[in-house]
Chain A
């Protein structure tokens, strides 16, 4: 059993939790994910790792309450226990000194981006961070990310904070300004990653995206998380979750992520939670 040690509400439907799972904390690296199951009847859901504390043996997750399990997770309190918490799964990010890197986080995608930014900074990169959200209440980890960023930008769709518009606007400007960008990390909604990847492809600017498709086991067994990368089937759980953004078939990923939409709605209705 894995107790919840801390819980924080980051915005209306986004929550942060620190879970005590020493064996995961010990091995966790930026870019990896965990799978959790709340109770005996629960489903297994993947969540990317936001942070970890090897001394305290805790792993931090941030999740948006979008389906039955994340909504149920949101109702749990400090001291409650999760039945299963497995990881770290997937391959870690390729952290090295590239020179100048741009890290783009969209909405809750900012969460897994945070440790990547921190590690990129620690090895000496010039880190430019761009955080985007629909409005300012949905922004997260601003201070934490600022601390490890050499340049820092915010965009909101409604202009309630920072640049009014999209993360891709800022990226375009950086490119136009002639910044010597070596690599881009883009983590967020599939549509955001697609837009960023389409933009950087024009400039042959290497772009890493982190995918979060529907999974069951997380060990390469079920293939539910398969994505098409460079025309080939890859499993996000063992070959990813990070992939070359220029090779990912985002349209197929969007369709596959809607696979159980109807069932999810039904489950939420029965459980009395709004979707």
Chain B
């Protein structure tokens, strides 16, 4: 039987409707569609998909079980390698990882691996998650700093190995960027909570309101635990450094998304945190976070929402799916355009952004063609809100609180090949070690760190 060349389409909310709500955009596959899609996998011998997965999920194996209708078994195979499948099945850049290496690409579209992962995770969650098996307690204790993707993965894996784990989280909710950053319409918070509950069911304790470096120091954690893992992420927003950036109405992507997602400003005043966008919003940057900002602005009531980016669509760092969804929702892309100044009214509120047109020159260090301003091409766009989404740097709180923790050029913690920092027994992974990257790479780092930590603590006496 010939293999179908295209993926089974994903049913989605109509763009005209969805810009008025925060509900998730794709509905997910039905059981029948999922099984049909799984049957597209040709079970090739060299398994390029697994090799391209940062957390090494046995992709052909779970797909094989799913294709045969053994859904529970498929879930088991999937979850043996990833603690957050419902998250990965939604926000992973599959096109650059598993799906990007799929053998079927020679014939047409790859297997919809992300969609299958999502189906399995959702299927299990609706059915009731099976209680995981606990390993025999080792008597070892590890402190994990930060309940984001890296920390949760590390905590989950270490707990499965039988170690006692306490996660210290600065905010009042778990998930890190999954909770404060990624919007509800892309990753419902109920799903994050469910995945966190699963990790807690492995015996992991999460303590909130604990700002490590302030409320408790890394040294104090080292005194109490056998090892410490730092996964505090890339929380420090980057700025454009142009005049007017402190005007009322200019937000960092982090502030805007945190207000809306974590503090639920879309439900103001029933939830107490305010956030307003006015009629016209402009987002600066073109990564996934920028797409999230521009699409969130529409849902917060903006009539027009711009993406302003100094290069072309080809160079945009966002995932294709996010760009596609943004376009469907009517986001206006102003490409080859760079902001030079925010202009305020007499009350200090932003009213316009002055921009300059760009053209692409020779490739720069990143291999992308460098944008060059075109002389005498300045123009203004009237806006009510500016959202700065040009990236984040590693959060300096923990590194600054302990001088023995050596940092590198961008403020990221220096780690060796085993993820160990310059302080013995202290490991680090995710954005705090690599600089801003993706959820799945942070999870991969959490996973590798868990292995190193296990090796480290099993070779020394317990505290």
A residues at B contact (CB < 8 Å): 23-24, 27, 37, 41-44, 68-69, 83-89, 216-224, 226-228, 233, 238, 249, 252, 255-256, 258-260, 262-264, 266-267, 270-271
B272→A219 contact, CB < 8 A: no
Min CB–CB distance B130 → chain A (angstroms): 29
CA distance A85 to B255 in the complex (A): 20
Instruction: Bits for B219-249, please: 1 = Cβ < 8 Å to A, else 0.
Output: 0000000000000000111010000011110
Shortest beta-carbon contacts, A-B, top 8:
A255-B348, A263-B274, A222-B255, A221-B235, A267-B269, A43-B272, A223-B252, A43-B273
CB proximity to A under 8 Å, residues B325-376: 347-348
Q: How far is the CA of A121 from the CA of B157 in the complex (A)?
A: 52
Provided the pairs A85-B209, A219-B395 are in contact, do residues A263 and B268 lie with their beta carbons within 8 angstroms? yes
Residues of B within 8 A of A227 (CB): 246
Q: Does B279 contact A (CB under 8 A)?
A: no
Assess the B274–A86 pair: CB atoms within 8 A: no
B258 and A217: CB pair below 8 A? yes
Kindly provide the distance from the CB of B418 to the nearest chain A CB, expressed in whole angstroms: 28
- By the criterion CB–CB under 8 Å, are B215 and A23 in contact? yes
A263 to B170, CA, bound (A): 27
Query: Is B54 located at the chain interface by the 8 A CB criterion?
Result: no
Q: Which residues of B contact A271 (CB under 8 A)?
A: 269
Smallest Cβ-Cβ distance to A38: which chain B residue: B272
Q: Does B136 contact A (CB under 8 A)?
A: no
Residues of A within 8 Å of B396, CB to CB, are 220, 238
Q: Are A86 and B215 neighbours in the complex by a CB distance under 8 Å?
A: yes
Q: Please, how many angstroms separate the alpha-carbon atoms of A194 and B452 in the complex?
A: 53
Query: Other CB < 8 Å A-B pairs besides A43-B263, A267-B269, 19 of them?
Result: A23-B216, A27-B214, A41-B264, A42-B272, A84-B208, A86-B210, A89-B211, A217-B171, A219-B171, A219-B211, A220-B236, A221-B395, A222-B237, A222-B254, A222-B259, A249-B246, A255-B348, A263-B268, A264-B274
In angstroms, how far is the closest chain A Cβ from the Cβ of B414?
Answer: 20
Q: Are B251 and A266 in contact (CB under 8 A)?
A: no
CA A264 to CA B271, docked complex, whole Å: 12
- Chain A residues in 8 Å Cβ range of B172: 37, 44, 83-84, 86
Contact between chains at A41 and B251 (CB < 8 Å): no
Q: Is B270 an interface residue (CB 8 A)?
A: yes
Interface string of B89-111 (1 = CB under 8 A from A): 00000000000000000000000
> Is residue B3 within 8 Å, beta carbon to beta carbon, of the partner chain?
no
Find the B residue at minimum CB distance from A39. Answer: B272
On whether the beta carbons of A221 and B268 are closer than 8 Å, the reply is no
B397:A220 contact, CB within 8 angstroms: yes
B233 nearest CB neighbor, chain A only: A221
How far is the CB of A123 from the nearest CB of chain B, in Å? 23
Hey, which chain B residues are within 8 Å of A267, CB to CB? 268-269, 272, 274
